[in-house]
Amino acid sequence: MERLDFDLSAGEEATLARLDLSEAEKDRGFSLVASTWNIEDDRLEPGVSARGPRIIDFAPVLKYDLFPFAAVVDAVLEVGTKSMGIPVEIEYAVSEDGPDLAPVFYILQIKPLIQRSDKIVIDLGALVKGECLVASDRCMGNGRIHGVRDLVFIDPESWDRSDTETIAKEIASLNESIKAEGRYYALIGPGRWGTRDRWLGVPVSFAQISNAKAIVEADLPDFSVDSSLGSHFFHNVTAMNIGYFSAAYGSTSSFVDWDALASLPVHAKTAHCVHARTGDDIDISMDGRLGHGVIRIPTLQLTPDEKSDNIIDN
């Protein structure tokens, strides 16, 4: 079932095929991961030699050690940890292309697990209106992100969930411009980032926001969806130590101050998005212990008349 006609720019699933089990069974590697349900005996039998419904449970490898998969993984993790000095994570593939069709374990990627000891304390109740762009009581990440002076945000006035595919292209273009300058940015917008359902948010690929150092998923009064926690896109984001902020509309401790964002100097603009650039570093701080996070510009202070109405008083 080799595929040689894929386009890697189409995303991380460009080389994958979604098949029914009946079709996948034609692949010679299927027997390594499947068991068969014995209806008469009411039990699972490893492999696919018997007749009956197929179940993907990896039992031939994990339980019956068809090849030493667990031992290989342990060895790779041990060598990686000793070499890098800290725990590592790996991505791998297994293919039956060794001598006599023996399984071969391929290491695709190995990288250290990020361990940051910074102890950041964020008191969401003490935040001053007009000084904070984003506050979140559901934040992932820990420490401070330095050297960011750019923000890309979707203008809530032009938000239309039917235009999310167009918005994704606009953000990709802004990302390329920022990347060409060797700069990084914080990304803010409604709904889910990286969703497959364009009605729930902006369906960007990770490559389209590759220079974002923090992403914010914000609710609007008439648009509220569950956050991206648990998605494959989300895990890619956290693995790269990109800060993740979720801001639920109506929360007393989470918000996006859209008025403050609109007051920032505009560097570039598209039909739906604004690229703002500041003269000072943006403070992106995350308390990984409590899940609190803030994005603010220390020198930003709106006048009382300019304070945003979408921040709810405690």
DSSP 219-257: -BTTB-----TT-HHHHHHHHTT-EEEEE-TT-SS-EE-
Contact 247/139 with Cβ under 8 angstroms?
A: no
- In this structure, is residue 3 part of a structural domain? no
CA dihedral (259, 183, 238, 170) positive or negative: positive
- In this structure, is residue 213 part of a structural domain? yes
Q: Is 258 exposed, middle or buried (0-12, 13-18, 19+ CB in 10 A)?
A: buried
Q: Residue 50 pairs with which residues in a beta bridge? A: none
The whole-number average pLDDT for the span 19-36 is: 84
Total domains in the chain come to 2
- Count of H-run helices and E-run strands, the chain: 6, 19
- In this structure, is residue 313 part of a structural domain? no
Same domain for 105 and 130: no
This prediction has a pTM of: 0.62
Same domain for 197 and 171: yes
The whole-number average pLDDT for the span 294-308 is: 58
The whole-number average pLDDT for the span 179-190 is: 96
Which of 4-18, 36-50, 177-191, 277-291 shows the lowest per-residue confidence on average (mean pLDDT)? 4-18
The whole-number average pLDDT for the span 9-14 is: 68
Helix (H, G, I), strand (E, B) or coil at 202: strand
For residues 290-304, b (16+ Cβ closer than 10 Å) or e, as one string?
ebbbbbbbeebeeee
Share of the chain above pLDDT 90, in %: 35
Residue ranges making up the domain that contains 23? 8-112
Query: pLDDT averaged over the chain?
Result: 83
pLDDT in tens, 96-132: 777 887 888 999 888 776 655 567 788 787 776 667 8
Same domain for 220 and 99: no
- In this structure, is residue 1 part of a structural domain? no
Among 55, 25, 63, which residue's Cα sits nearest to residue 37?
55
Same domain for 203 and 147: yes
